């Protein structure tokens, strides 16, 4: 007789995946899943096509391809203000998700509490639950989603072991500033907590202030596990390339866990990733300009259809208040938009442990402009 592990109790396929299936069934426009449907840099693809046969097609070292680790180390020093020895402070992983799951597996025991800033990334919640840890929400109030010191301190319990920080945040697009990260440093120091950051959207932000990595700040460097990857910055999520950096004594068990879970990230793609990390600053400027235009296109479309999108500071999602549709929850709003407009979104409840209190959905704008223009027409048609 088949038995199901206790750790699977209550776990189901993510709302993001199930909404994608529903959207495909009706032939709709999928703004639900962050599929990153814009073209990768043409020079990266050309480089890969020309060199693919000569690349290493066997396993890499458990910590990753040596050349990639050197490139990541240089990138961290230049863009993140983080010093990381490629020999013992960086591990290449199967996506940022692989880095996150290896971190949980290596550093925590069942029952440990993990603070999550709500609304939070649904896959973070699923992974925390899979390893039989306890997600402890810290509510960030719309529309600003600022982190308040008192709210963070009040969420800490005797079982709390870590804080997860996603910046720029999925789903809200929030970029936590120096003051907010100072609150995290203060409280993490008081309670000897690890800080796990997910910075996968680090190069996608709006405004003049560059990305601020928590691990670069005083009081956080020695206790921070920094996670990022190449999926979003180079539009290659299917390559499944992520990485994690931390002090050597913290990273050592993470490397063992990553090796156990997946052996290594795809070796030839690791080697090609070195070329991506060498792209000039102008590439990232163009990337941000492109996404800013898409952000405005989709925001205007939702506004014209009677809804209220937020103004994200980073990432490529809108958080849309759908109160104007006459619905009472994000679930109802997502159903309404799919049924009446043929547009798939994700209900805000998928990113919260508690009721968000407002009918909010997340919509992804990492799609071609013609899809966004068609979305505008369908939203308007669905309103009538």
- Tens digit of each residue's pLDDT (9 = 90 or more) over 283-312: 999 999 999 999 999 999 999 999 999 999
State how far the alpha carbon of 15 is from the alpha carbons of 20, 81, 119, 151, 226, in Å.
8, 36, 15, 28, 26
Q: pLDDT value at position 221?
A: 95
Q: Do the beta carbons of residue 161 and residue 106 sit within 8 Å? A: no
Task: Single out the residue of 374, 382, 380 nearest to residue 30, CA to CA.
Answer: 374
Task: Single out the residue of 335, 339, 367 nearest to residue 15, CA to CA.
Answer: 335
CATH number for 7-41+282-383 (one of 3.90.1150.10, 2.70.98.70, 3.30.870.10, 3.20.20.70): it is 3.90.1150.10
Encode pLDDT of 217-256 as tens digits: 999 999 999 999 999 999 999 999 999 999 999 999 999 9
What whole-number distance in Å separates Cα of residue 242 and Cα of residue 127?
Answer: 16
Give the three-state DSSP class for 286: helix
For residues 83-96, give the mean pLDDT.
98
pLDDT band for 2, please (50, 70, 90 cuts): confident
Whole-number percent of the chain with pLDDT over 70: 99
How is the chain split into domains, by residue range?
7-41+282-383, 54-277
Classify 223 in phi/psi space as left (phi over 0), alpha (psi -120 to 50) or beta. alpha
Give strand pairing partners of 336.
none
For residues 360-375, give the mean pLDDT.
97
Q: Which residues contact 147 (CB under 8 A, 6 or more apart)?
A: 117, 138, 140, 176, 180, 183, 184
Q: Check whether 83 has a pLDDT greater than 80.
A: yes
Q: Do the beta carbons of residue 374 and residue 341 sit within 8 Å? A: no
Q: Check whether 109 has a pLDDT greater than 90.
A: yes
Q: Do the beta carbons of residue 276 and residue 234 sit within 8 Å? A: yes
Q: What is the mean pLDDT of the chain?
A: 95
What whole-number distance in Å separates Cα of residue 96 and Cα of residue 103?
Answer: 11
Q: pLDDT value at position 48?
A: 94
Q: CA angle at residue 256 from 115 to 78, to 5 degrees? A: 70
pLDDT band for 1, please (50, 70, 90 cuts): low
Task: Single out the residue of 307, 339, 331, 329 nearest to residue 320, CA to CA.
Answer: 307
What whole-number distance in Å separates Cα of residue 100 and Cα of residue 128?
Answer: 9
Is 3.40.640.10 the CATH number for 54-277? yes
The token pair that represents 260 in the structure block:
């156990």
Tell me the whole-structure pTM to 2 decimals. 0.96
Cis peptide before 119 (omega within 30 of 0): yes
Q: pLDDT value at position 160?
A: 98
Burial of 46 (0-12, 13-18, 19+ CB in 10 A): exposed
What whole-number distance in Å separates Cα of residue 214 and Cα of residue 199?
Answer: 9
Sheet-wide strand order for 90-94: 90-94, 241-245, 224-229, 194-198, 160-166, 113-118, 134-139
Q: pLDDT value at position 384?
A: 61
Give strand pairing partners of 280.
none
Q: pLDDT value at position 16?
A: 84
Q: Do the beta carbons of residue 331 and residue 190 sit within 8 Å? A: no
Encode pLDDT of 158-173 as tens digits: 999 999 999 999 999 9
Task: Report DSSP state, residue 238.
Answer: G
Q: pLDDT value at position 129?
A: 96
Q: Check whether 353 has a pLDDT greater than 80.
A: yes
Residue 124 Cα to chain centre, angstroms: 9
Cis peptide before 184 (omega within 30 of 0): no
Give the three-state DSSP class for 227: strand
Burial of 81 (0-12, 13-18, 19+ CB in 10 A): middle
Q: pLDDT value at position 15?
A: 83
Q: pLDDT value at position 8?
A: 85
Q: pLDDT value at position 141?
A: 85
Q: Strands 113-118, 160-166: parallel, antiparallel or unpaired by DSSP?
A: parallel
What whole-number distance in Å separates Cα of residue 179 and Cα of residue 174?
Answer: 14
Encode pLDDT of 13-38 as tens digits: 788 888 888 988 889 999 999 889 99
Phi, psi of 239 (to 5 degrees): -75, -20
């Amino acid at each position: 007789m088949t038995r199901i592990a206790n750790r699977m109790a209550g776990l189901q396929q993510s709302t993001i995946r199930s909404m994608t299936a529903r959207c495909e069934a009706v032939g709709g426009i999928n703004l639900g899943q962050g599929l990153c449907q814009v073209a990768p840099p043409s020079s990266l693809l050309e480089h890969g096509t020309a060199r693919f046969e000569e690349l290493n097609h066997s396993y890499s070292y458990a910590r990753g391809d040596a050349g990639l680790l050197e490139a990541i180390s240089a990138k961290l020093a230049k863009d993140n203000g983080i010093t990381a020895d490629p020999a013992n402070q960086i591990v290449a992983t199967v996506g940022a998700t692989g880095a996150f799951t290896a971190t949980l597996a290596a550093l925590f025991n069942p029952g440990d509490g993990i603070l999550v800033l709500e609304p939070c990334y649904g896959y973070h919640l699923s992974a925390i639950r899979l390893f039989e840890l306890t997600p402890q929400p810290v509510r960030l109030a719309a529309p600003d989603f600022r982190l308040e010191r008192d709210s963070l301190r009040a969420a800490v319990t005797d079982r709390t072991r870590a804080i997860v920080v996603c910046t720029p945040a999925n789903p809200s697009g929030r970029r936590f500033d120096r003051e907010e990260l100072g609150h995290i440093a203060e409280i993490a120091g008081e309670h000897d907590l690890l800080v796990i950051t997910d910075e996968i959207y680090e190069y996608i932000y709006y405004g003049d202030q560059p990305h601020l990595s928590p691990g670069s700040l005083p009081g956080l460097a020695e206790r921070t596990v920094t996670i990022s990857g190449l999926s979003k910055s180079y539009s290659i999520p299917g390559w499944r390339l992520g990485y994690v950096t931390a002090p050597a004594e913290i990273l050592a068990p993470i490397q063992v866990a990553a090796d156990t879970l997946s052996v290594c990230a795809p070796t030839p793609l690791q080697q090609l990733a070195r070329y991506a990390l060498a792209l000039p600053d102008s590439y990232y400027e163009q990337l941000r300009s492109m996404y800013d235009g898409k952000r405005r296109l989709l925001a205007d479309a939702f506004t014209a259809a009677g809804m209220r999108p937020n103004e994200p500071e980073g990432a490529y999602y809108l958080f849309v208040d759908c109160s104007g549709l006459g619905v009472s929850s994000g679930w109802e709003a997502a159903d309404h938009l799919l049924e009446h407009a043929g547009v798939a979104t994700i209900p805000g409840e998928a990113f919260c442990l508690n009721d968000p209190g407002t009918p909010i959905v997340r919509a992804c704008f990492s799609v071609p402009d013609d899809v966004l223009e068609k979305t505008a027409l369908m939203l308007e048609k669905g309103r009538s």
